[in-house]
Structure 1
Amino acid sequence: MSELIQAILDSEEKSDLRSFMSQLRQHDQNYLLRNDILNVFGEYCSKSEKPDNFYTSSHLGKLIYYTQEIIQEDSNLCFIIRPKIASQEVYRLTADLDIEPMTTEELLDLRDRLVNKFQPQEGDLLELDFGPFYDYTPTIRDPKNIGKGVQFLNRYLSSKLFQDAKQWLESLLNFLRLHHYNGFQLLINDRIQTQQQLSLQVKKAIGFVSDRPEDEPYEQFRFQLQMMGFEPGWGNTAGRVQDTLNILDELIDSPDPQTLEAFISRVPMIFRIVLVSAHGWFGQEGVLGRPDTGGQVVYVLDQAKNLEKQLQEDIILAGLEGLNVQPKVIILTRLIPNSDGTLCNQRLEKVHGTENAWILRVPLRDFNPNMTQNWISRFEFWPYLETFAIDSQKELLAEFHGTPDLIVGNYSDGNLVAFLLARRMKVTQCNVAHALEKSKYLFSNLYWQDLEDKYHFSLQFTADLIAMNAANFVISSTYQEIVGTPDSVGQYESYKCFTMPDLYHVVNGVELFSPKFNVVPPGVNENAYFPYTRTEDRVQEDRDRLAEILFTLEDPSQIFGKLDDPNKRPIFSMARLDRIKNLTGLAECFGQSQELQEHCNLILVAGKLRVEESGDNEERDEIIRLYHIIDEYNLHGKIRWLGVRLSKNDSGEIYRVIADHKGVFVQPALFEAFGLTILEAMISGLPTFATQFGGPLEIIQNKVNGFYINPTNLEETAAKILEFVTKCEHSPQYWEEVSRKAIDRVYSTYTWKIHTSKLLSLARIYGFWNFTSKENREDLLRYIESLFYLIYKPTAKKLLEQHQYR
């Protein structure tokens, strides 16, 4: 990128750069982000009457395109440039157009000075650098392979391991000896003592089972295999056992990464799983629409059900039914004594539709009953996590009668609890972020001190650094969640380098090229969410009842607004009422477009209707704002606002009722990490308009099975929806076409069967590599513990002291 800057300085564009820098210095802001920079450059091009191609094709235009931030200090400008995905370069340009590369440390100091201009930093801040811990581990080179960690890890470590045949066979033999269930040995017994015996006995066993009928049950020849050295776990029929042994035989004789993955994916090594979703209001009824719930609760419940189902299938295929192997999945959350009519005060609750999946609720210790007996916002929950993890360990050991095989954290607090549990129990840890707040709140790290009383980002961002580096593997729903797009920074990428002034500098917070990252998108609950055309699976009474609630029912306790014309095409959205979900932005978009109001009604399913009913500051602010927008744009008669709590089945049917009325679904979030509601709407058959900021970019194929919108541009958003609606009025088959393609998109890519198979495969493979590579992570884990005990814990203690007086 320095060459591009030099090319500008060596050309006639040097005067343009000087003029553009002069215009920047006149700007009100000292810190400009990418959109601001592009707008200022566009103004410059227009004001200077530049030709159309100058904006994109000139050297200066290219430099501006790659520039993520510009910071002004005195007469100098600092350009933070992102020449490619997961890469950053920083340069200082002086008034004389001298160019100087800047180090990461210099950049962080500059950002600090921007915040503390009247209180200069005295002495050095703590620098956090995780880079050295990844120096001796394999890293991906090509950015396009980020998120495909397990494939890379298989290739890399296989090539190393396979080079030494003796070491490889010894590692494989020792790995096969590891596995047991409740005292029962699995896979191989003491009759196989050496690598040579393993190879010979595998061939002997293959010959034995190949002479038997393929469908002969395992139990009928179990004794003969045991005499050869093979215990249960190879298969449930002669054909399955032969297939598994053939894969192992090929792996022994001519190993390759694909065969290794195929074999390890069959090894029975995971029976007990913990899914951590810590901060509460986690239940199966009465929790959706409450603060801090929604997509995460739906995701974890569906994941639990489908993981149990997949484990059961795997156990049957492995031939372990005879040992009475019972997989168990536990969702770990907090118990809320004052549970507002929900079951969140119940210690143990069985997950509907499962045999052995449970919600285990562990109470918080009573530091102050006014706090711990009630729901606590995710922004305030941090002081309770360590003792919650300690107490949860005892409960989990009791429920499982042993340790779990895998712990999956969800959200920032759940991931920190997963780290604490995995560290104490020496269990494989997987992280799922869902949404990292740092990307959602602009400058949240830079001005953390101003936001600390409300959001406590010092705790949240520290917890994120701890959990993402401690995890054995991380699953994200999308590629861009990790490293963004060519012109936007990813959620994890935003943790690479940042400052929290007066707290610490993060010089290298995460290794984005680590093979721990894997893209595994969630699925949709196909029992609750399915196409509106499947009328045989729909209940007419529910259909009529929900249509009445959506369009005509008058019930001031849970519905605001009466429609003048209920037959207009509905624009529908369903989400929490918070700033990021931006339902108020959609209402304002609708309010500003008279044409849209002529064609459509706006129907929102969104939390509470009254400020006094909400205990969440952000929700209260949004309630006030929504009423203000309705009055300002006189939307009475054109909008319905439903403050209802829906069961999952009702939630699914509501989408279908909207589809019956040929409506559209709009997801207007300012940022969306993934977007489960988008999948729910699409599989129901609703043409969907979704934010272009985040995961929807990978779910929707624009103008094919849905549409991107920029929710910050209200006029453009209204125009896109209006264009679709008017096209459907002239050509009704267009709505049907987009609807059908939306349904097809979900079924081909986003099912829970795909998700759970991949997740369990990853857990087995990472467990295998942790064993065979003998990776010593103790130095990294000790560094992480230092961060926990020296930064996180003292800060959490201060917040706990504040809670004592509430």
Structure 2
Amino acid sequence: MAGNEWINSYLEAILDAGSSTKKRDDYVKLTKDAKFQHDNKQHQQQQQQLLKEEKPFSTTRYFVEEVITSFDESDLYRTWVKIAWDDARRLAKRRLEREQGRNDAADDLSELSEGEKEKGDPNVSEPIKNLSRINSDTQIWFDTDKSKHLYIVLISMHGLVRGENMELGRDSDTGGQVKYVVELARALANTKGVDRVDLLTRQITSAEVDSSYGEPIEMLSCPSHATGSCGAYIIRIPSGPRDKYIAKESLWPHIPEFVDGALNHIVNMARALGDQLNGGKPTWPYVIHGHYADAGEVAAHLSGALNVPMVLTGHSLGRNKFEQLLKQGRLSKEAINATYKIMRRIEGEELGLDAAEMVVTSTMQEIEEQWGLYDGFDLKLERKLRVRRRRGVSCLGRYMPRMVVIPPGMDFSYVTTQDSLENDGDLMSLLGSDDRAQNKTHLPQIWSEITILALMQIMRFFTNPHKPTILALSRPDPKKNVTTLLKAFGECQLLRELANLTLILGNREDIEDMSNSSSVVLTTVLKLIDRFDLYGQVAYPKHHKQSEVPEIYRLAAKTKGVFINPALVEPFGLTLIEAAAYGLPVVATKNGGPVDILKVLNNGLLVDPHDQNAIADALLKLVADKNLWAECRKNGLRNIHRFSWTEHCRNYLSRVEHCRNRHPTNRLEIMTIPEEPMSDSLRDVEDISLRFSIEGDIKLNGEIDAAARQKKIVEAFTRMASLKSNTGIVYSPGRRQMLFVIAADCYDSNGETTETFQAMIMNVMKDAGLCFGLGKIGFVLLTGSSFRETMQALSCCPVNIEDFDALVCNSGSEMYYPWKDMVADTDYEAHMAYRWPGENVRSMAMRLARTEDGAEDDITEYVAACSSRCYSYSIKPGAKTRRIDDLRQRLRMRGFRCNLVYTRAASRLNVVPLFASRIQALRYLSIRWAIDVSKVVLFVGEKGDTDYEDLLGGLHKTIVLKGTVAYGSGKLLRNEDNFKREDAVDQGNPNIKFVETSEGQNIAGALTKLRKCGWLNNPPLVCAHGGDSTNAFPNTMSAYSIALHSQVDCIEIDVSRSSDGVLFALHDRDLQRISGNSTSKVGHFRSNELKELDVYHQSDNSKIPTIEDALKLISASVRQVILDAKVGPPSYEKGLANDILSTVEKMQCKNCLIWAKSDSLVRDIIKLSSDVAVGYVVMVDPHTGARTNLLRMKGPKVAGVYHQLIDERMVKILHGREKKVYAWTVDDVDSMMRMLHMRADAIVTSNPTLLQRTMQDKRTQCLEEGFSLTR
């Protein structure tokens, strides 16, 4: 029974609903008392008395009757007592810890004045009927304010997300949340003042799902007020294996990769929007909003990296599910973790609470009964802190996120005037006689031909389709309680006579192929239909489209039917709002969100979902009483506007505006990318100019004595770091193409730096220069040690300290720039200092870190390593201290938000700001210096500080140097009953390489493979120039066919126009190579003359193909088609853009890219259409001999560059402006290899077979040498 998913779901839902009587609640409360002593006889008497008195309903008996045919009361009772006893001890301990934490916080906070006492929160405590009102301290959002240019980021990581034909109900990950976030994105983009909304989700290219989920970008909407790249878009971020669809429980190890990919996109978009709307200054997101636990963790990391406000919506919470599973008692904690990754999910939600400014909920119940279970939130403490903030009183470092109730909006644009009361009537116009052909001639306008076919799939089940339709629409999930609805309908003869029942239970092909719980539910439905002989009275279609759902609601409304949601527990209930929008009265469960919805709409009845008689009575009342039905319909239509997306967005943006008023201003700037690459010689000069000298003893060979020199350096740098006058300087090494980051924690058992540290640094720097060239690589050191300790360790290294571009000390809380007088980055200090409790947490952290049986001196403050953003504590050898997860939990309970790290072989505890960490410091530098995270190589040992796991994930390459680190701090990271490393770190991450030792030859080998083979993880498109121009004449059907047979990714077609406006596939403006006529121009011939032209080069006597003919053959078989528009005098180009676009539209070429050497033609195409991809050409100007401007156009996303002009710097510049680099025309192996190493996005070649063979040979060689490919 332990593995029965169906039974698990039933129990989970029943326990959600809770007990039906107060006495049972009292009994459960008694059993959870920590002092409760087990006395079997006494408890048996109490249980029997309760069961005897409790007449209406027993959840235990209900479950047994639904699932099991017979049971033993005594066995069930013994199991219940054991579960209750174990549960009581666990919950009592946790409750005691929470109460102690809240009491500590309350003791520190001064008593509120009489006017402050528990004012309550209008956003939380008011009934939902006052939902549209906004608190007086919140600025109301005005639609007329056009001065704002907001960029909003939404994140919904799991499931299948797309804008059209959503596959809702396909699996448990693709449900109402998908529809909610897509519609929210559209609604926000339609709000005045919002320019761009990006919905970030995971990219999936698996063969088991539709190809649309692999498209990097999908436009959701482009409002009339939008310009350029504005509007709403789905952005799909690669993370984890792209060719696999991964369930949400298995996505956790891939979150760092998603964070880095999302960060790259947001930074590039901020720059692009800034150029377009903000005078070149980056337009950072107005808010980052995470949906569900996984996206909440992503949003928390992005919020910390970008210093912008974060909002969280939980949708479904892990701690509730965990409590329910434990109460069931059939799965151990370990089994629950293994199946659901529940502890990892809870930590993601807790981190979201740490970082969130605001948490959006649908109901008050979610706040009080669900979020109230978390360490990071307490409603009373949150209210008290809010009152203190309003009065300007210090909160003493405590923080709680703001909870607001904003019900989901609905899109009512599809609700037509025919849905009004005046157009009621029977279905004679739809059904008519039995002559189906005649029906179609009398269809009301509300139904189309396609709609009729869909509705007929329902009507065919009914003997009398004129009867009112009772509609239920949900997944086939036990929690949706469809079987009780069927019993209620089947056993009520009067209801069966008055109405039909329609069950829309997702889509299915074969019930046996569905998940266990779904197949059991559907099988039970079929059995119940047969038991009660409901044939002709119940419809249960196999398929329906999302676009057909509105018509299904309309059908129920036209028949004067009722919508029912009988779920055991319903978190919100979007379908109830959808039904109301069509004037359909409702019957709904009294457990959860429907209570609040019906308070506002007043359009139906609430029922106990366990009581089938109550369900039947409520349905009968609405179906039989036409006055009640009409009143409910009228109320629903009158009040439905309260749930419109317009209302939701106004409320939402007003709340966010209020949160932003508390959030510090974003000071993050992006280094300006120079438009022209510097030469290597200039780079070397710059390197020399930035160095500085320090006097020291000079040897005979002219070198400074090492010992004296390093001593001087330490003293000078330490002195410089303390100078206030230089703290405003920020260093940006714009010349760097890659970053090598050393983060190996090399300490002995006493926490002292080992000699391995110095040798490793020397080898890394030496081999980097050999493999990549001096001046191209920047070096950064990440350490948990203090600044002075770091300088002392580096003083023993045979390298120059100023060779480092940055030093990140004290576990990511401090950043220094050696090349700029060793000043601290004060912008970084301000960037990550938000919510830092400061002195308020100093003594508390030390007290809580000690265990109950630990000695007073086990942990003491280490003043020498402390700073304004880091409190360090020394750990006595062998001392007992709390693990990181335990200590973080206790601080959260007291309202403190910090990051905690054990460092220096667990001899030191660093307490730093929440957003301060080594990996976040790396992301900060990546943004500040405009270096893509994928261009970062991180060097670590096999173990390290307790933040070691954070360093392993992401887009950066990680080289693990075996034998470098002997002692780590990992044993103090998590308790044994928490989640495991494999839930946080991708065990098969191809970006992680292992090197046997830190000796130079091993590091050099790894770096060489990285340089030679890195392109394999993102190979360029193989693009055939004019088809396979080596084996056939270019731009002929033969050349195209040969290229297609070779399975190229892309084909370039040259486009020329005849005098009468027909487009042909011709490269040259004259006909020399075609017919030997060097004087005639293509534009001088009419289309019929070109078609009849003698093309002597073709052996198959085929004619010059038109562009339409070429696209018909090519476009569906390649990933991209490049249309290279050939230009001429202005008179020739007139109207050419329109002709090309007309042909592209006619042939429905969605993968066409148009480029031309004429910028005016490209601009004309951009003006005429924003839907077609365009590019411009970078080449050597034949008149001046100079290279054309690299960044001369903002709109195009592709730059076609003559391959001899391309170098790494150019590629970086273009990629930094979100432009892809297409190299043309590359026909020899050496140039092909060079373009691979330069990381071109596409290589245009006349010999695609040679390029494919070259790429395959290099791939084989790299794999044989041990290079690992990403998924």
Short-chain TM bin: 0.5 to 0.7
Q: How does 1:533-548 map to 2 (within 5 A)?
A: 533-534=419-420, 540=445, 542=447, 545-546=450-451, 548=453
Amino acid at match of 1:777: R
C-alpha RMSD over aligned residues: 4.7
Larger Rg over CA atoms: 2
Q: How does 1:155-166 map to 2 (within 5 A)?
A: none
Amino acid at match of 1:725: V
Amino acid at match of 2:170: R
Verify: 1:382 aligned to 2:248, yes or no. Answer: no
Match of 2:186?
A: 305
Could you list the per-position Cα deviations for residues 744-800 of structure 1 after superposition, in whole angstroms to 9, with x for gaps in the alignment?
A: 1212x2122221112112222211122399984135142578899645773553796
Query: Does the CA-based 8 Å contact 1:547-1:657 persist in structure 2?
Result: no
- Please point out which of 746, 752, 755 is paired with 2:645: 752
- 1:341 Cα shift? 2.9
Separation in 2, partners of 1:348, 1:680: 29
Separation in 1, partners of 2:361, 2:38: 41
Q: Secondary structure at the match of 2:249?
A: coil
- 1:493 Cα shift? 2.2
Query: Does the CA-based 8 Å contact 1:701-1:707 persist in structure 2?
Result: no
Q: Secondary structure at the match of 1:464?
A: helix
Q: Secondary structure at the match of 1:358?
A: strand
Verify: 1:778 aligned to 2:664, yes or no. Answer: no
Separation in 2, partners of 1:68, 1:343: 55
Query: Does the CA-based 8 Å contact 1:589-1:715 persist in structure 2?
Result: yes
Q: Secondary structure at the match of 1:619?
A: helix
Separation in 1, partners of 2:140, 2:320: 37
Verify: 1:289 aligned to 2:182, yes or no. Answer: no
Q: Secondary structure at the match of 2:324?
A: coil
Q: Secondary structure at the match of 1:690?
A: strand
- Please point out which of 261, 273, 277 is paired with 2:152: 273
Q: Secondary structure at the match of 2:663?
A: helix
Distance 1:693 1:800, change over 3 A: farther
Q: Which piece of structure 1 moves more, 590-599 or 615-624?
A: 615-624
- 1:623 Cα shift? 3.2
Separation in 2, partners of 1:396, 1:383: 22
Separation in 2, partners of 1:702, 1:259: 24
Verify: 1:421 aligned to 2:307, yes or no. Answer: no
Amino acid at match of 2:899: R
Could you list the per-position Cα deviations for residues 669-698 of structure 1 after superposition, in whole angstroms to 9, with x for gaps in the alignment?
A: 222222111111111100011111111111
Amino acid at match of 1:778: W
Q: Secondary structure at the match of 1:351?
A: strand
Q: Secondary structure at the match of 1:394?
A: helix
Match of 1:737?
A: 631
- Please point out which of 364, 388, 391 is paired with 2:239: 364
Verify: 1:674 aligned to 2:555, yes or no. Answer: no
Separation in 2, partners of 1:307, 1:553: 36
Q: How does 1:134-173 map to 2 (within 5 A)?
A: 142=118, 145=121, 147-148=123-124
Distance 1:363 1:542, change over 3 A: farther
Separation in 2, partners of 1:111, 1:620: 29
- 1:433 Cα shift? 1.6
Verify: 1:564 aligned to 2:471, yes or no. Answer: no
Q: How does 1:428-507 map to 2 (within 5 A)?
A: 428-439=309-320, 443-444=324-325, 448-483=333-368, 490-495=369-374
Distance 1:149 1:723, change over 3 A: closer
Amino acid at match of 1:375: Y
The number of residue pairs the alignment matches comes to: 572
Distance 1:799 1:719, change over 3 A: farther
Q: Which piece of structure 1 moves more, 449-458 or 284-293?
A: 449-458
Query: Does the CA-based 8 Å contact 1:532-1:657 persist in structure 2?
Result: no
Q: Give the TM-score, by structure 1 length.
A: 0.61
Match of 2:474?
A: 575
Separation in 1, partners of 2:140, 2:620: 50
Match of 1:625?
A: 524
Could you list the per-position Cα deviations for residues 679-726 of structure 1 after superposition, in whole angstroms to 9, with x for gaps in the alignment?
A: 111111000111111111111039942111221222221221122222
Match of 1:769?
A: 662
Verify: 1:520 aligned to 2:413, yes or no. Answer: no
Gaps spanning 5+ residues in structure 2: where?
1-10, 47-81, 127-134, 272-281, 384-399, 425-442, 667-829, 838-896, 901-913, 916-945, 951-972, 991-1270
Match of 2:557?
A: 659
Distance 1:295 1:777, change over 3 A: same
Match of 1:407?
A: 288
Query: Does the CA-based 8 Å contact 2:155-2:295 persist in structure 1?
Result: yes
Separation in 2, partners of 1:124, 1:39: 24
Distance 1:781 1:566, change over 3 A: farther
- 1:432 Cα shift? 1.1
Q: Secondary structure at the match of 1:420?
A: helix
- 1:36 Cα shift? 7.3
- 1:527 Cα shift? 1.0
- 1:337 Cα shift? 0.8
Distance 1:491 1:375, change over 3 A: same
Separation in 1, partners of 2:94, 2:599: 51
Query: Does the CA-based 8 Å contact 2:359-2:401 persist in structure 1?
Result: no
Distance 1:263 1:619, change over 3 A: closer
Distance 1:482 1:598, change over 3 A: same
Query: Does the CA-based 8 Å contact 2:600-2:639 persist in structure 1?
Result: no
Separation in 2, partners of 1:673, 1:472: 23
Q: Secondary structure at the match of 1:689?
A: strand
Distance 1:282 1:38, change over 3 A: closer
Query: Does the CA-based 8 Å contact 1:362-1:391 persist in structure 2?
Result: yes
- Please point out which of 165, 182, 200 is paired with 1:332: 200
Separation in 2, partners of 1:133, 1:41: 34
Match of 1:217?
A: none
Distance 1:552 1:262, change over 3 A: closer
Match of 1:398?
A: 268
Verify: 1:373 aligned to 2:267, yes or no. Answer: no
Separation in 2, partners of 1:147, 1:125: 29
Verify: 1:638 aligned to 2:508, yes or no. Answer: no
Separation in 2, partners of 1:635, 1:526: 34
Could you list the per-position Cα deviations for residues 649-672 of structure 1 after superposition, in whole angstroms to 9, with x for gaps in the alignment?
A: x32232122111111101122222
Greater relative contact order, per chain length (Cα 8 Å cut-off, separation 6+): 1
Q: Which piece of structure 1 moves more, 288-297 or 67-76?
A: 67-76
Distance 1:585 1:385, change over 3 A: farther
Distance 1:281 1:653, change over 3 A: same
Amino acid at match of 2:38: D
Amino acid at match of 1:481: E
Query: Does the CA-based 8 Å contact 2:28-2:84 persist in structure 1?
Result: no
Match of 1:161?
A: none
- 1:586 Cα shift? 2.7
Q: Secondary structure at the match of 2:629?
A: helix
Amino acid at match of 1:280: G
Separation in 2, partners of 1:521, 1:429: 19
Separation in 2, partners of 1:124, 1:682: 41
Distance 1:697 1:67, change over 3 A: farther
Query: Does the CA-based 8 Å contact 2:458-2:539 persist in structure 1?
Result: no
Separation in 2, partners of 1:380, 1:137: 45
Match of 2:775?
A: none
Could you list the per-position Cα deviations for residues 136-184 of structure 1 after superposition, in whole angstroms to 9, with x for gaps in the alignment?
A: 699996485274499xxxxxxxxxxxxxxxxxxxxxxxxxxxxxxxxxx
Distance 1:128 1:797, change over 3 A: farther
Query: Does the CA-based 8 Å contact 1:529-1:680 persist in structure 2?
Result: no
Percent identity, aligned pairs only, is: 24
Separation in 2, partners of 1:297, 1:551: 28
